[in-house]
Chains A and B, each alone.
Chain A
Amino acid sequence: DSGVTQTPKHLITATGQRVTLRCSPRSGDLSVYWYQQSLDQGLQFLIQYYNGEERAKGNILERFSAQQFPDLHSELNLSSLELGDSALYFCASSVVGGGPNEQFFGPGTRLTVL
Chain B
Amino acid sequence: AQSVSQHNHHVILSEAASLELGCNYSYGGTVNLFWYVQYPGQHLQLLLKYFSGDPLVKGIKGFEAEFIKSKFSFNLRKPSVQWSDTAEYFCAPTGGAGNMLTFGGGTRLMVKP
Please determine whether chains A and B interact with each other in the same assembly: yes
Residues of A within 8 A of B (CB): 2, 31, 33, 35, 42-45, 48, 50, 55-56, 58, 90, 92, 94, 97-108
Besides the known contacts A35-B101, A56-B97, A97-B98, 7 further A-B residue pairs in the complex with CB atoms under 8 A apart: A31-B98, A33-B100, A56-B96, A58-B100, A99-B99, A100-B51, A100-B52
Contact A48-B98, Cβ < 8 Å, known A100-B51, A105-B45: yes
Type the 1/0 row for B23-60, where 1 means its CB is closer than 8 Å to any CB of A. 00000000010101000001111100101100000000
Chain B positions within 8 Å of A45 at CB level:
100-103
A49 to chain B, nearest CB (A): 9
Whether A50 contacts B98 by the Cβ 8 Å rule is yes
- Among A56, A100, A104, A106, which residue has its beta carbon within 8 angstroms of that of B98? A56
B100 to chain A, nearest CB (A): 4
Whether A98 contacts B98 by the Cβ 8 Å rule is yes
Whether B103 contacts A98 by the Cβ 8 Å rule is no
Majority-rule SS of B interface residues? loop
Majority-rule SS of A interface residues? strand
Whether B101 contacts A103 by the Cβ 8 Å rule is yes
Chain A positions within 8 Å of B96 at CB level:
56
Residues of B within 8 A of A (CB): 32, 34, 36, 42-46, 49, 51-52, 90, 96-106
Whether A102 contacts B46 by the Cβ 8 Å rule is yes
Chain A positions within 8 Å of B44 at CB level:
90, 92, 105
A sample of 17 cross-chain residue pairs with beta-carbon separation below 8 angstroms, ordered by A number, consists of: A33-B100, A35-B101, A35-B103, A42-B104, A42-B105, A42-B106, A43-B106, A45-B103, A48-B98, A55-B98, A56-B97, A56-B100, A90-B44, A92-B44, A100-B32, A102-B46, A107-B42
Whether B98 contacts A105 by the Cβ 8 Å rule is no
Whether B97 contacts A98 by the Cβ 8 Å rule is yes
Whether A90 contacts B103 by the Cβ 8 Å rule is no
Whether A98 contacts B99 by the Cβ 8 Å rule is yes
